[in-house]
Amino acid sequence: MSRQPKHLAVAGATGAVGVEILKCLEQRDFPVSELTLLASARSAGKTVSFRGKEVVIKELTPDSFAGVDIALFSAGGGISKAFAPHAVAAGAVVVDNSSAFRMDESVPLVVPEINPEDAQTHPGIIANPNCTTIVTLMALNPLHRAFGGVRSVIASSYQAVSGSGAQGIVELEGQVNAIAKGEPLPERKVYSRQIAFNVIPQVDVFLENGYTKEEMKMHHEGRKILHAPDLKASVTCVRVPVYRSHSVAVTAVFNEKPTVEAARAAIAAAPGVHVIDDPAADIPLYPTPLDSTDGDDCLVGRLREDLVLENALTFWVVGDQVRKGAALNAVQIAELL
Residue 3's pLDDT is: 74
The residues with which 318 forms a beta bridge, in sequence order, are 247, 299
**Residue 107 in 3-state DSSP?**
coil
CATH superfamily membership of 6-128+326-336: NAD(P)-binding Rossmann-like Domain (3.40.50.720)
Residue 2's pLDDT is: 54
Alpha-carbon gap, residue 7 to 36, rounded angstroms: 8
Annotated active-site residue in 237, 246, 274, 298? 246
298 belongs to the catalytic site: no
Extents of the domains making up the chain: 6-128+326-336, 133-321
Annotated active-site residue in 24, 122, 131, 144? 131
317 secondary structure, DSSP code: E
Residue 185's pLDDT is: 97
Is 133-321 in the same CATH topology as 6-128+326-336? no
144 belongs to the catalytic site: no
Alpha-carbon gap, residue 337 to 334, rounded angstroms: 5
Counting Cα atoms < 13 Å in the Cβ hemisphere of 124 gives: 12
Question: What type of residue is 311?
Answer: N
Alpha-carbon gap, residue 119 to 139, rounded angstroms: 21
User: In terms of Cα–Cα distance, which of 258, 311, 320, 312 is closest to 287?
Assistant: 320
**Average pLDDT, consecutive stretches of 10 residues, N- to C-terminus, the chain (337 residues):** 84 94 97 97 95 96 97 96 98 97 98 97 97 98 98 98 93 98 97 98 96 96 98 98 98 98 97 96 97 98 98 98 97 96
Alpha-carbon gap, residue 188 to 185, rounded angstroms: 8
**Measured between alpha carbons, how far is residue 22 from residues 5, 14, 75, 233, 242 in Å?**
15, 10, 14, 34, 24
Residue 319's pLDDT is: 98
Q: How far is CA 213 from the centre of its chain?
A: 15
Looking at 3.40.50.300, 3.90.1150.10, 1.20.1250.20, 3.30.360.10, the CATH number of the domain 133-321 comes to: 3.30.360.10
Residue 1's pLDDT is: 44
